[in-house]
Amino acid sequence: KAGVTQTPRYLIKTRGQQVTLSCSPISGHRSVSWYQQTPGQGLQFLFEYFSETQRNKGNFPGRFSGRQFSNSRSEMNVSTLELGDSALYLCASSAAGFSGGLETQYFGPGTRLLVL
Amino acid sequence: ILNVEQSPQSLHVQEGDSTNFTCSFPSSNFYALHWYRWETAKSPEALFVMTLNGDEKKKGRISATLNTKEGYSYLYIKGSQPEDSATYLCALYSSGNQFYFGTGTSLTVIP
């Protein structure tokens, strides 16, 4: 099976712009979750989508949003970019979602966003 | 926000040495703990899912133990090889229906 793919891999934006990142899960997986990693921080949970519905959300401002399509592909959007949004954004897929924490998550390679 | 701590932050060992590192978490908030290996320029790769107090998992030279009562998990690597060089992450799944990641232990195995 093909793994989780993310596009683009690298992105440079300026403050105030918006950006859309894409994640294609492993075939058959219905859950996609998104994480942010900034220098010195562990992965921070953004949100989880399952069957086109956002099921869980982390502690991020409303500038961060996402959606999931019927083929389970997911997009994450960040509006009004700030310098602090510069980070590595990872998505992960699993078959049934968080399921009490027992499901293995499969991560993509990430999108590295630089905000100037 | 739950605090998941990993120690040490980084580690350099000689090829053939055995090593271990720690993931600490609030014991009252445990549902499951995941370990990942993250090699440079690659995706994090799942190693183990730990669920029960006293749980012990093994995959080749790598094993992990769990103590939910005292809030820690150990990851052991026996006879480290250069290909074991990576950052090892732990992630706690808790009642907030999300994963809380530690900042990782960076392991370098010197040939």
Neighbours of B51 (CB within 10 A): 18
- Can you read off the two tokens belonging to residue A108? 């993509």
CB contact under 8 A, B102 and A98: no
Give residue-wise pLDDT tens across range A42-84. Answer: 899 999 999 999 998 999 999 999 999 999 999 999 999 999 9
Q: Quick check: A9 contacting B, CB < 8 Å?
A: no
Chain A closest CA to B29's CA: distance in Å? 12
Task: Write out chain B's pLDDT in tens, 111 residues.
Answer: 788 999 999 999 999 999 999 999 988 878 899 999 999 999 999 999 999 888 899 999 999 999 999 999 999 999 999 999 999 999 999 877 889 999 999 999 999
Chain B closest CA to A79's CA: distance in Å? 23
Minimum-distance CB partner of A109 among B36, B43, B91:
B43
Give residue-wise pLDDT tens across range A15-43. Answer: 999 999 999 999 999 999 999 999 888 89
| Contact present, B33 and B50 (Cβ < 8 Å) | yes
How many angstroms separate the CA atoms of A114 and A110, rounded?
13
| Contact present, A95 and A29 (Cβ < 8 Å) | yes
DSSP structure class, residue A104: P
CB contact under 8 A, A90 and B49: no
| Contact present, B52 and B68 (Cβ < 8 Å) | yes
Is the pLDDT at A2 greater than 90? The verdict is no
